[in-house]
């Protein structure tokens, strides 16, 4: 009987680490339509494609889609606390992808920076790792707007000690075959390009803690 108890104890110890290691990491994808998967079939948006890529690369994680089409940085700031409260666990990483709608509407970059600063500050206060996904101004907005808008992401990432993916649409902009037709939102293939680019940054932040 004693030997059986020892055997069961050994099996429990041998199996428990595997199940513990298999516990999913929670990634919160917090953004606008680029995160939400605007006009894409189920399973083809940013969150599900990133989750699949993480699992394929050996990182057991699930990615919660908290993208809302049309959101500005102000609207993201307003709903952040509610989104965090709605989750069943504290995120292991939050990907913040906001600012595109501020830029497309020509809103003051200083306000966008202030809103993002508040979002990152709240996440940092909660000790939640951050990956900030950057955006760049469209050429038609002019050089002055770009000069004020483009640097805010690197500046905020440095201030809040956050990870930085400089341009969320890297490799997609300008390639019509990667857009749904509006020259803004990526199609399924475009999302896969985004995921391929951002994946190493996400993996590094998830596995460094």
Separation between Cα atoms, residue 200 and residue 206, nearest integer Å: 10
Angle subtended at Cα 152 by Cα 148 and Cα 153, rounded to the nearest 5 degrees: 145
pLDDT value at residue 120: 98
10 Å Cβ neighbour count for 38? 18
Catalytic residues: 33, 182, 185
Residue 12 has pLDDT above 80, yes or no: no
Residue 148 has pLDDT above 70, yes or no: yes
pLDDT value at residue 72: 98
User: DSSP assignment, residue 133?
Assistant: E
Single pTM value for the model: 0.89
Residues in the chain: 209
Rounded mean pLDDT, 37-62: 97
Residue 6 has pLDDT above 50, yes or no: no
pLDDT value at residue 3: 45
> Residues of the chain with pLDDT > 90: what percent?
87
Rounded mean pLDDT, 148-160: 98
Q: Around 205, how many Cα atoms within 13 Å sit in the side-chain half-sphere?
A: 23
Q: Residue 56, by phi and psi: left (phi above 0), alpha (psi -120 to 50) or beta? A: alpha
Rounded mean pLDDT, 68-72: 98
pLDDT per residue as tens digits for the range 75-123: 999 999 999 999 999 999 999 999 999 999 999 999 999 999 999 999 9
Q: Which residues contact 194 (CB under 8 A, 6 or more apart)?
A: 46, 168, 169, 170, 171, 172, 186
Rounded mean pLDDT, 49-69: 98
pLDDT value at residue 209: 73
pLDDT value at residue 133: 98
Separation between Cα atoms, residue 161 and residue 186, nearest integer Å: 29
Residue 19 has pLDDT above 50, yes or no: no
Rounded mean pLDDT, 171-194: 96
What is the pLDDT confidence band of residue 183, given thresholds at 50, 70 and 90?
confident
Separation between Cα atoms, residue 30 and residue 206, nearest integer Å: 16
């Amino acid at each position: 009987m004693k030997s059986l108890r020892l055997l069961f104890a050994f099996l429990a110890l041998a199996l428990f680490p595997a199940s513990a290691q298999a516990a999913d990491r929670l990634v919160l994808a917090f953004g606008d339509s680029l995160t939400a998967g605007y006009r894409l079939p189920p399973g083809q948006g940013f969150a599900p494609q990133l989750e699949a890529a993480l699992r394929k690369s050996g990182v057991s994680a699930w990615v919660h889609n908290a993208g809302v089409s049309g959101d500005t940085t102000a609207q993201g700031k307003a709903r952040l606390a509610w989104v965090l409260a709605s989750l069943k666990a504290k995120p292991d990483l939050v990907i913040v992808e906001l600012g595109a709608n501020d830029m497309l509407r020509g809103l003051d970059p200083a306000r966008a920076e202030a809103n993002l600063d508040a979002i990152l500050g709240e996440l940092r206060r909660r000790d939640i790792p951050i990956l900030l996904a950057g955006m760049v101004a469209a050429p038609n907005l002019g050089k002055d707007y770009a000069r004020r808008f483009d640097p805010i992401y690197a500046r905020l990432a440095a201030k809040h000690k956050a990870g930085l993916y400089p341009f969320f649409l890297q490799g997609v902009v300008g390639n019509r075959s990667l857009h749904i037709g509006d020259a803004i939102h990526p199609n399924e293939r475009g999302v896969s390009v985004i995921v391929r680019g951002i994946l190493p940054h996400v993996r590094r932040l998830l596995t460094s803690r």
